[in-house]
Structure 1
């Protein structure tokens, strides 16, 4: 979206009813402190490793089957999250994932069992991810929504760090232990999630959608107002949530076709598809799945050196993502972070391609070392937006009634894009070597243009009020709150 268009959205939003959110410091606020200290339990993700040392089509199947399982979850995750609640859906996904890990790691495992186990890992992961970030977003105090939801996906790197350094630690092992230990450790994070998810309250928005209004209000009062039921902001926040969900329920537009029925929803669907695709197909997929081939191409061929490089890269990626995206998401906004990441990745990837070409033609060791530096720098600029904003942005642009379905679409497109990466990249690298990188340069150019012209800034408004940016006057948002209201009385008396 261009600057002029974004300004138009901002002006339009200013004309809408707007809930004033009092700023708070979370660690000085007893309710939020209690809530946020437990939230990292929802942010833990599983580690995923390859079975032995497969090659060719076998490697493609072993790596792709996880994403095939993840895509299959699209048809189940939103119904589980909407029907049974965010906590139960998160826990169920963890259980399925753990079962998948056990199937892979048992002594009697065969190839069919291993493939089935990896399918369950992907399936269970997306059942859990299809609910966990929604619970975080819908529990968070409005001021902290962006940072907490971005943090959810950036903590994926905790799992990848464990995976990388476990592989490094077992590299000298021979026989089955070299792959069985890393595979078994995939169960660590989902087990911690499973143990911790029910220490958190349920989503107040989900409770309102089920008519459990008193429970929803009590949660908001306890965690957003330190137990003060007379707090004027909590009354206003509850009113906005309850009225908005009632409006959405009355409209009864929560099936899959709703994404095509209005201009606002078509825009949401387009942004979800673009964000999900770019999150996997901006050149990062090359490093994620085929770092071994890339390092071989620049002369880094010893398993020890490759594993050490990968371990360092995962730590660097985590520090950058948690430092940049989480810190700047509420300062610079979502659209600006997407732009910084996309432009930075385009510049770095272009230099990376040039250095690869020089090394391939001349064998210049300096060019080879420059490629290694570019990989680190690439993940540095990517950390401004990816992966943190992938889930956060796609979730917050959606109204409650279709939020779980929209996130399922995001995860489904992400999974399919991952499968595309896993089958296309090895062919491209084998046939074209460094020349294959030009495909991603073209994609990055398109990515920059799409972000500039299409992406909508969502920093500022509450989760309910974001609908105004997409649906205008047709937004199903409570109109009973007047802009800038700072009184302790409201036009509607809350009834529980």
Structure 2
């Protein structure tokens, strides 16, 4: 039987790289409304009560956006680094970069130093968010890959929750230590990631591409055959890797321009927009600035902790509601979660817009510390906003969260998959950067209409998914190619099965696996060579 415990251990260790993104979200969102932070980075002076007003909305947007800006660069660099250094070593490099960035952030005494530190942290997040799924995919048995890759999204939610409670505890500390301690502690998971990976194997596929076939065989035996290189699964997996590598070497190196060729353009657009739309839902914006929302809903009247507690509840919802996707995403498919998620998020954004638009008043001078907290709501309307925000989070967690990481790699042929996923990830961080910078001044100047903008995005993405996103769950690569009708040279039209007519044929796939695989192979999670390496 395969050594699944070892595979799960490696996966849970590797996704710490994804959790770093969650740590960053919480370490900023839980702190930006506190007096120690506002006083340390005070740019606007003091209010009538002598309270620090902190950075301007534009400056605060720039501080938050520095992280996704660094992630964009890190994601683009990670592909080149991974091909030369290996998947594992690249993730380890990302962990070292994160530690350096955390030291700079922790020691920050002015805004520019803080922005530089966050850019360095973002560079690390970009590396890890792009390469952790690749590493996991290349060590896992075929039937476990979807679940294990989805662990990255779950790790992000855990990172948000854990760091938020750390920040909550540190909010009782006087002075700048209230935010410096959490910023220092966030480097510890990266230390654990680096040390833990030292004793784990490199990706067998990467080893094979570097001519280290014997090492690749030993890794496969360790992970899938309890050390037995003659194990049937190990030998068949080795043959599949050899065939895939030979196929790649029979063509010229994949070029970026191929992703925009007529026969591939539709796939590229869908993969890139999957990541773009995941940002335009507004979820990460909610995570970064959720304390702004709850402060405007009146929770700040009882003190800072009254804001942090319900914010942590929404983060806990994020963790819990991601679990169903880990268990049943392959049963649900890809289209259904995306369609249901976009519809529900649109509804809750509209509810928030109505509550703020109808019931909000202009804050009194000095009532809120940030200029972005430009509305004040109390009474039943405030509780509707709080509940609606939590339901928005619960709608994103099992839908666009995990599917946005799982769907793009399924769209592309093997030779182009690395560059295609890197491009999609870069699009994610580009829009993350833009939105992080946009939201504070948006709340300040257009107030409740900010919610309307994201609601419109959710409505448009719902239509886009319905008409153009085909179902790829439980389909071989040949079947995906037929969906796009790009199997014939020079094909330029999308004349395959319309996206809204594609189905998740899980029952059919399970039946085919039972017929094609021996009992031993089924136990190991083995897919036939025809499915894994189509001609």
**Structure 2 length as normaliser, TM-score?**
0.78
Distance 2:324 2:517 in 1: 34
Cα deviation, residue 217, structure 1: 3.4
In the alignment, what sits opposite 2:500? none
In the alignment, what sits opposite 2:101? 100
In the alignment, what sits opposite 1:257? 257
Mapping for residues 224-373 of structure 1, pairs under 5 Å: 224-264=224-264, 266-301=265-300, 302-321=303-322, 323-360=323-360, 365-373=379-387
Q: Describe the superposition over 1:442-487 as per-residue Cα deviations: whole angstroms up to 9, x where unpaired.
A: 1011111111122232222467985665575369xxxxxx996458
In the alignment, what sits opposite 1:87? 88
Cα deviation, residue 245, structure 1: 2.8
Cα deviation, residue 38, structure 1: 3.0
Where 1:459 maps in the other structure, the secondary structure is coil
1 or 2 for the larger relative contact order (CA 8 Å, sep ≥6)? 1
Mapping for residues 36-435 of structure 1, pairs under 5 Å: 36-44=8-16, 45-46=19-20, 47-48=23-24, 49-50=27-28, 52-53=37-38, 54-106=55-107, 109-264=109-264, 266-301=265-300, 302-321=303-322, 323-360=323-360, 365-435=379-449
Distance 2:57 2:348 in 1: 29
Q: Which runs of 5+ in 1 are unaligned?
A: 1-28, 476-481, 492-496
In the alignment, what sits opposite 2:51? none
The alpha-carbon distance between structure 1 residues 166 and 86, as it changes in their structure 2 partners (threshold 3 A), is same
Distance 1:458 1:202 in 2: 29
Q: CA RMSD in A?
A: 2.8
In the alignment, what sits opposite 1:16? none
The reply on whether 1:454 has 2:479 as its aligned counterpart is: no
Cα deviation, residue 427, structure 1: 2.4
Cα deviation, residue 428, structure 1: 2.2
The alpha-carbon distance between structure 1 residues 363 and 342, as it changes in their structure 2 partners (threshold 3 A), is closer
The alpha-carbon distance between structure 1 residues 474 and 36, as it changes in their structure 2 partners (threshold 3 A), is farther
Cα deviation, residue 156, structure 1: 0.8
In the alignment, what sits opposite 1:25? none
Distance 2:83 2:261 in 1: 21
Distance 1:82 1:402 in 2: 14
The alpha-carbon distance between structure 1 residues 280 and 234, as it changes in their structure 2 partners (threshold 3 A), is same
In the alignment, what sits opposite 2:44? none
Where 1:81 maps in the other structure, the secondary structure is helix
Q: Describe the superposition over 1:51-88 as per-residue Cα deviations: whole angstroms up to 9, x where unpaired.
A: 72333222122111111111112431101111221001
The alpha-carbon distance between structure 1 residues 229 and 65, as it changes in their structure 2 partners (threshold 3 A), is same
Residues 61, 438 of structure 2: 8 Å contact kept = no
Q: Describe the superposition over 1:86-126 as per-residue Cα deviations: whole angstroms up to 9, x where unpaired.
A: 001100111111111112223x7544333221111001121
Q: Describe the superposition over 1:157-199 as per-residue Cα deviations: whole angstroms up to 9, x where unpaired.
A: 2211122112211223332102111211221222111112233
Where 1:241 maps in the other structure, the secondary structure is helix
Q: For this pair of structures, how many residues does the alignment match?
A: 454
Where 1:254 maps in the other structure, the secondary structure is coil
Distance 1:448 1:207 in 2: 41
Residues 208, 242 of structure 1: 8 Å contact kept = yes
Q: Which runs of 5+ in 2 are unaligned?
A: 39-54, 362-375, 490-511, 522-527, 531-535
The alpha-carbon distance between structure 1 residues 453 and 199, as it changes in their structure 2 partners (threshold 3 A), is farther
Residues 42, 193 of structure 1: 8 Å contact kept = yes
The alpha-carbon distance between structure 1 residues 309 and 486, as it changes in their structure 2 partners (threshold 3 A), is closer
The alpha-carbon distance between structure 1 residues 472 and 204, as it changes in their structure 2 partners (threshold 3 A), is farther
Residues 356, 377 of structure 2: 8 Å contact kept = no
**Structure 1 length as normaliser, TM-score?**
0.84
Cα deviation, residue 136, structure 1: 0.6
Distance 1:207 1:460 in 2: 28
